[in-house]
Amino acid sequence: MDFNALAKLLFPDVDAQPADMEAKFPPRQLPEGACVTRIGPSPTGFVHLGNLYNAIIAERLAHQSGGVFYLRIEDTDQKREVEGAVETLINAMEYFGVHFDEGATAEGDNGAYGPYRQRQRAGIYHVFAKWLVEQGLAYPCFLTEEEIQAIRDKQTAEKEDPGIYGKYAEKSRSLTLDEIKANIEAGKTWVLRYRGEMNSERIVVEDAIRGKIEMPRNFADFVLLKSDGIPTYHFAHVVDDHLMRSTHVIRGEEWISSLPMHVELFGKLGWEQPIYCHTATLMKIEQDEEDPTKQKKRKLSKRKDPELALAYYQQEGISRDVVWEFLLTVLNSNYEEWRAANPDKSYMEFPYSIEKMSISGALVDMDKLRDIAKDTIARMDAQTVYDNWLAWCEEYNKDFAELLKKYKDRTLAALNVGKSGKKPRKDIETWKQACDFMSFYYDETFKPEDDMNEQADEAVQKAFFEKYLASYDHADDSAAWFDKVKAITEELGFAVKPKDFKKEPEKYKGSIVHITNMLRIALTGRANAPDIHEVSHVLGEDIVRARISQFIIHNS
RNA sequence: GGCCCGUUGGUCAAGCGGUUAAGACUCCGGCCUCUCACGCCGGCGACGGGAGUUCGAUUCUCCCACGGGUCACCA
């Protein structure tokens, strides 16, 4: 077989040589130790937590080392592509604060190693495909789906390894140049297959996360180019990560099993392999359907687990910083320790390392996430909370966004309630929940939620509020204010010290807890709320008096 | 089924031949307290099983079990 003639027949329009590509995409001029990383999502419209997980690793590795982090769109499968998916992806990454140095953007490509969308790189892959044909390392295969299925059935029946290799590849491999030409002229479609060698060798890959991975060397004639001329993931990965000069390939562990194909291609093309980092799959706990008392781990599924979609975090208003903090604690076992030692630093300052990565599948624990959320938001200053919260409201709760803008000063003051001192309040978990929690600060959203009659009867309510209003001085400090409350409590026959009431409940009509709860319900609509004195000062004297007066009228 | 990867409390996770086997979340007590949220103190709770190697295995080796991944012209 004249391989050069075959190459010319298969790729009549390809003139460039591999060397031309090397010259066009030269090695990057970067400082020693700089990492070049990327994420390569396929535009299916669904952005996964796992996408972010890998993106964060790649981003940290690159930016911590003074390297480059880029976005490549792996759109080689037209069938799965969804309209607008690239924009969705870029928006999600933007929301979560993942910034690319180069690659695909909403406006087009940015960077010298593009195009960054694989379908637009067809010509580049063909240069190497042609070269492989010339070397006798690749050949066209005209097997139909039915023929392949028949081979697979036979292999399954005989317990052989499935695939096109060895004797099963003979039919296609032995085609003469004339036969191939005739097939093409007859309009038959073909795929380009790698010519695998039957062997019993083993390969060893040093994975940066897992250490040595040993596997059988590839022997199969796997597909390089699909019948539409677009490469498979395997071929595209090797060509792209070489030409884009990636130093590290961060991807999910589901790729480990295709490592032999990648190693084979890097070897035959004479290229240095990138450092592979295969990350653990995110898991989820679930009840066993057969035995409800048992629980089992399983892969997060997009149909059953809303928290797998990045969109879920956006809709719930889980702050970008919270998601980073959470993922970083899952990603690096020493992150929590570092965070405790450096409460004021940004997570960007954390020295991330691959060695500290978890190797087994982590469960997404929403309890843990909530805890981290409270801590993270409690660390932010009021202005930052306001800005982030408002930005979320602009997107997901327009009415509330208007309120926040209208009452900016009051909101800022409200966000500072309980912030002083060593034990800051930790009330806010998500922006969505914040809208609910903070609703009592605005007349537009204020509504009674708890029943005051559980605290005392109506006569007491009326008596208390009248006395309270009469003695109320907005200028009182916290101690003076509370002294007055205590005085009224005593006058009404309630215990000033809750413990006294607990010991001898028959001696009192109730305790100061009932009194303050009434006040809290009058002011905030609920029995559980932050410090009354502080809240009163955020609301302002007019609203305080109005909300209490309304209660007296209501009860008279 | 073949080939891979993995297995420390409910979850996350330190450990890297000798430890009373850290810590975080959850849960349960208690304290603080005008409620809640915090905070503090305490408690429950783990090395999948079996052989080796060794004076000694959570740690090293092998086997098994279990979980996961993958075996496409999908990524």
Pairing between β-strand A138-141 and β-strand A191-194 as defined by DSSP bridges: antiparallel
CB A265 under 7 Å to nucleic chain B: no
Average pLDDT over residues A311-323: 91
Name every residue whose Cβ is closer than 8 Å to that of residue A501 and which is 6 or more positions away in sequence: A494, A495, A508, A510, A511, A513
Q: Name the most confidently modeled range: A308-322, A398-412, A447-461.
A: A398-412
The predicted structure's pLDDT at residue A288: 35
On strand B, nucleotides with any atom < 7 Å from a protein CB are 1-8, 10-15, 23-26, 34-39, 67-75
How far apart CA A102 and CA A460 sit, in angstroms, is 69
Mean pLDDT of A2-30: 95
Running DSSP on this structure, what letter comes out for residue A175?
-
How many other β-carbons are positioned within 10 Å of the β-carbon of residue A304? 10
Which residues in chain A, range 513-542, keep a C-beta under 7 Å from any nucleic strand B atom?
513, 516-517, 520, 527-533
Q: Is the CB of A483 under 7 A from strand B?
A: no
**pLDDT (0 to 100) of residue A284:** 53
> Pseudo-torsion of CA A438, A439, A442, A448, nearest 10°?
-130
Of A64, A101, A71, nearest to A86 by C-alpha is: A71
Q: What percent of chain A has pLDDT over 90?
A: 65
Torsion sign over Cα A86, A88, A89, A91 = positive
Q: Alpha helices, DSSP H only, in A407-509?
A: 408-415, 431-437, 458-471, 478-491, 498-503
Mean pLDDT of A513-539: 93
**How many other CB atoms sit within 10 Å of the CB of residue A517?**
22
pLDDT mean over A434-462? 89
Which pLDDT band holds residue A361 (cuts at 50, 70, 90)?
Answer: low
Least confidently predicted of A22-36, A79-93, A431-445: A79-93
**What letter would DSSP give residue A349?**
G
A450 CB contact with strand B at below 7 Å: no
Q: Which of residues 397-416 of A touch strand B (CB under 7 A)?
A: none
> Do residues A45 and A9 lie in contact, with contact meaning Cβ atoms separated by under 8 Å?
no
DSSP annotation string for A129-140: HHHHHHTTSEEE
Could you give phi then psi for residue A261, rounded to 5 degrees? Answer: -65, -40
Would you list the DSSP string of A143-160?
A: --HHHHHHHHHHHHHTTP
Q: What is the rounded average pLDDT of the residues A489-501?
A: 87
Q: Residue A220: which of A276, A287, A138 has the closest Cα?
A: A138
Span of A426-435, A480-489, A500-509 with lowest mean pLDDT: A500-509
In the 123-162 segment of chain A, residues within 7 Å (Cβ) of strand B are 143-145, 148, 152, 159, 161-162
Strand partners, A259: none
Please give the single-letter amino acid code of residue A507. K
| Reported CATH class of domain A3-15+122-279 | alpha beta
Q: Tens digits of per-residue pLDDT, A32-74? A: 999 999 999 999 888 888 889 899 999 999 999 999 999 999 9
Position A384: which residue type?
T
Higher pLDDT, residue A288 or A498: A498
Tokens encoding A31: 């400082």
Tens of pLDDT along A470-483?
A: 999 999 998 999 99
Of residues A18 and A286, more confidence is placed in: A18
- Distance between CA A510 and CA A459 in Å, rounded? 14
Pairing of strands A36-39, A68-71: parallel
Q: Do residues A117 and A125 lie in contact, with contact meaning Cβ atoms separated by under 8 Å?
A: no
Q: Is the peptide bond before A115 cis (omega within 30 degrees of 0)?
A: yes
Q: Look at A309 and A487; give whichever has higher pLDDT.
A: A487
pLDDT of A289 reads 36
* Cα separation values, A316 from A94, A319, A463, Å: 17, 9, 43
Tell me the C-alpha distance between A143 and A189, whole Å: 9
Provide mean pLDDT across the span A308-318: 87
Nucleotide nearest to A481 (CA to C1'): B34
Is the pLDDT assigned to residue A295 strictly greater than 70?
no
Of the candidates A330, A348, A343, the residue with the CA atom closest to the CA atom of residue A378: A343
Q: How far is the CA of A298 from the C1' of B61 (A)?
A: 30
What's the pLDDT score for residue A462? 87
How far apart (Å, rounded) are the C-alpha atoms in residues A428 and A435?
Answer: 9
Q: What is the pTM of this model?
A: 0.88
Q: What is chain A's Cα-based Rg? A: 33
**Beta partners for A430?**
none
**Does residue A297 lie within 7 Å of nucleic acid chain B, judged by its CB?**
yes
Nearest residue to A393 (alpha-carbon basis) of A364, A434, A345, A348: A434
Hey, where are the domains in chain A? 3-15+122-279, 308-379, 382-441, 452-554
Nearest to A13 by CA among A117, A118, A123: A123
Beta bridge partners of A309: A48
**More confident of the two residues A295 and A495:** A495
At residue A43, the 3 state secondary structure works out as coil
Alpha helix (H) residue ranges in A366-439? 366-379, 382-396, 398-406, 408-415, 431-437
Residue A53 in tokens: 């997980």
- Residue A216: phi, psi to the nearest 5? -65, 145
Q: A120: helix, coil or strand?
A: helix
Going by their DSSP bridges, the two strands A102-105 and A68-71 should be labelled as parallel
Compute how many other C-beta atoms are within 10 angstroms of the C-beta atom of residue A291. Answer: 9
Residue A77 pLDDT exceeds 80: yes
Name the residues in A158-217 having a C-beta closer than 7 Å to nucleic acid strand B.
159, 161-164, 189, 191, 210-216
SS3 A296: strand
> What class has domain A452-554?
mainly alpha
Across chain A, what does the average pLDDT equal?
89
A308-379 maps to CATH 1.25.40: no
For A225-281, the pLDDT digits (tens) are: 999 999 999 999 999 999 999 999 999 888 999 999 999 999 999 999 999 999 887
Report the pLDDT value the prediction gives residue A290, as an integer from 0 to 100: 35
Q: Range with the lowest mean pLDDT among A72-81, A112-121, A195-204, A450-459?
A: A450-459
ipTM more than 0.95?
no
Phi-psi region of A345 (alpha: psi -120 to 50; beta: other; left: phi over 0): beta
With H, G, I as helix, E, B as strand and everything else as coil, classify residue A299.
strand
Please, is A430 exposed, middle or buried when counting C-beta atoms within 10 Å of its C-beta (0-12, 13-18, 19+)?
buried
**Identity of residue A116:** Y
Residue A363 has pLDDT above 70, yes or no: no
- pLDDT of A299 reads 52
For A198-232, how does the pLDDT look when each residue is reduced to its tens digit (9 = 90+)? 998 989 898 888 888 889 999 999 999 999 999 99
